[in-house]
Amino acid sequence: MDLSFETSGKIVGIYFTEGTRVKKGDLLAKINDKPLQAQLLKLQSQLKLAEEKEFRQRSLLEKDAISRESYDQIATELQELEADVLLIQARIAETELRAPFDGIIGLRLLSEGSYASPSTKIVKLVKISPLKIEFSVAERYANDVKNGFPIEFRIDGNNNVFKASVYAVEPKVDINTRTIGVRALYPNLKEELKPGRFASITMRLMQINNTIAIPTEAIIPEMDGEKVFIYKAGKASPVKVTTGLRTEALIQVQEGLHFGDTLLTSGILQLRQDLPVVLDTLVKQ
């Protein structure tokens, strides 16, 4: 997150070192606030006198020594001074740049003596733990992905599989990509991952028990459907199949195959019905 001041002025103090950890609320930098401090001191003096005057006028009002109108005028003046003090204190707070969350300081972009404005970036603050993971899923899965949905992800150069959970789902489908935005949270307690890296997301949207899944290369497409070859009585036997879900390597067979069938996956383009087949290795699918 890029940090900047809410007001303009000359930077008179920088209180962080690049690469250090800071806590939420830590003072990172300061703009010259001497004119505002002088105004605050003047208002506080006036406020003290107004409070004493209001106290005396209230005592007289209780004794019916003055009119309600006279007292209300003094009370209004006191309230205006209190509001002015709060306003100056708020403007002084704008001259301080504080960490909005726990994180690690990045590279400093300005030094003491520089002039800063609300559009001037002072430093970048990076949140290491937890990490947010942003990705998109096709609109047809809009009703499947909800808060708490588990995901797995990988990053280049690391063989580990990391687990995270969804915490926010965009309620609207992107009209251009026909996808919905999703955000997940990874604790990153050991801080082994750095923000900004690309991740490969895996989501288990459906689990089917007791189904048959075969290598995709075993499928032979035809005009009227798809078929595979199985080993039967020493020969190749074609079987029409109905397929379902598929992944990069496997495809579900809904009809046509049974548990115990021996599927032929090598040289299938050369196979034909009743062609004698000799198996080097018997593999049950």
- Of 168, 196, 192, the residue nearest 182 (C-alpha): 168
Give me the pLDDT at residue 141, please: 84
Q: Is residue 185 part of a domain?
A: yes
Q: Report if residue 281 sits inside a domain.
A: no
Question: Is the pLDDT assigned to residue 283 strictly greater than 50?
Answer: no
Neighbours of 190 (CB within 10 A): 7
Question: What confidence category does residue 285 fall into, taking pLDDT thresholds of 50, 70 and 90?
Answer: very low
**pLDDT tier at 281 (50, 70, 90 boundaries)?**
low
Model pLDDT, residue 252: 87
Residue-level pLDDT at 52: 92
Q: If you compute the radius of gyration of the chain from its CA atoms, what whole number of angstroms results?
A: 36
Q: What is the rounded CA–CA span in Å between residue 174 and residue 198?
A: 21
Asked, for residue 277, whether it belongs to a domain, the answer is no
Same domain? For 113 and 12 the reply is yes
Domain with 68 in it: what CATH number?
2.40.50.100
Asked which of 34-38, 49-53, 131-135, 142-146 is least confident by mean pLDDT, the reply is 142-146
Mean pLDDT estimate for the chain: 89
% pLDDT > 90, the chain:
45
Q: How far apart are the first and last CA of the chain?
A: 52
Provide the domain limits for residue 145. Answer: 131-202
Please enumerate in sequence order all residues whose Cβ is within 8 A of that of 90, keeping only pairs 6 or more positions apart, or say none.
none
216 plus 193 within the same structural domain: no
Q: Of the residues 125, 140, 159, which one is the last residue of a structural domain?
A: 125
Q: CATH code at 265? A: 2.40.420.20
Q: Which of 39-43, 247-251, 280-284 has the highest mean pLDDT?
A: 39-43
Q: Is the pLDDT of residue 241 over 70?
A: yes
Mean pLDDT of 88-95: 95
Residue with tokens 């002072």: 122
Question: What mean pLDDT comes out for the span 23-27?
Answer: 92
Task: Supply the pTM of this predicted model.
Answer: 0.60
Tell me which of 125, 143, 171 is where a domain ends.
125
Could you tell me if 103 and 195 are in contact, meaning their C-beta atoms sit under 8 angstroms apart? Answer: no
Specify if 54 maps to a domain.
yes
Residues pairing with 235 in the sheet: 232, 276
Instruction: Render 56-117 in DSSP notation, one character per residue.
Output: HHHHHHHTTSS-HHHHHHHHHHHHHHHHHHHHHHHHHHTTEEE-SSSEEEEEE---TT-EE-
pLDDT, tens only, 265-278: 888 888 888 888 87
Omega cis (within 30) before 130: yes
Residue 227 DSSP code: E
Same domain, 105 and 19: yes
For 234, the token pair is: 């020493």
Evaluate if residue 16 carries a pLDDT over 80: yes
Structure confidence by residue, pLDDT tens digits, 161-205: 999 999 999 999 999 999 999 999 999 988 888 888 899 998 887
Looking at 202, 220, 242, the residue that finishes a domain is: 202
- Asked whether residue 66 is assigned to any structural domain, the reply reads yes
CA 34 vs CA 6, 11, 44, 95, 97: distances in Å? 17, 12, 15, 10, 16
pLDDT of 249 reads 83
Query: Which residue shows structure tokens 């949270």?
Result: 185
Rounded percentage of the chain residues whose pLDDT exceeds 70: 98
Q: What is the mean pLDDT of residues 148-160?
A: 90
Alpha helices for the chain (secondary structure H) = 34-62, 68-93
∠ CA 49-54-60, rounded to 5°: 130
Strand 123-126 vs strand 103-108: parallel, antiparallel, or unpaired? antiparallel
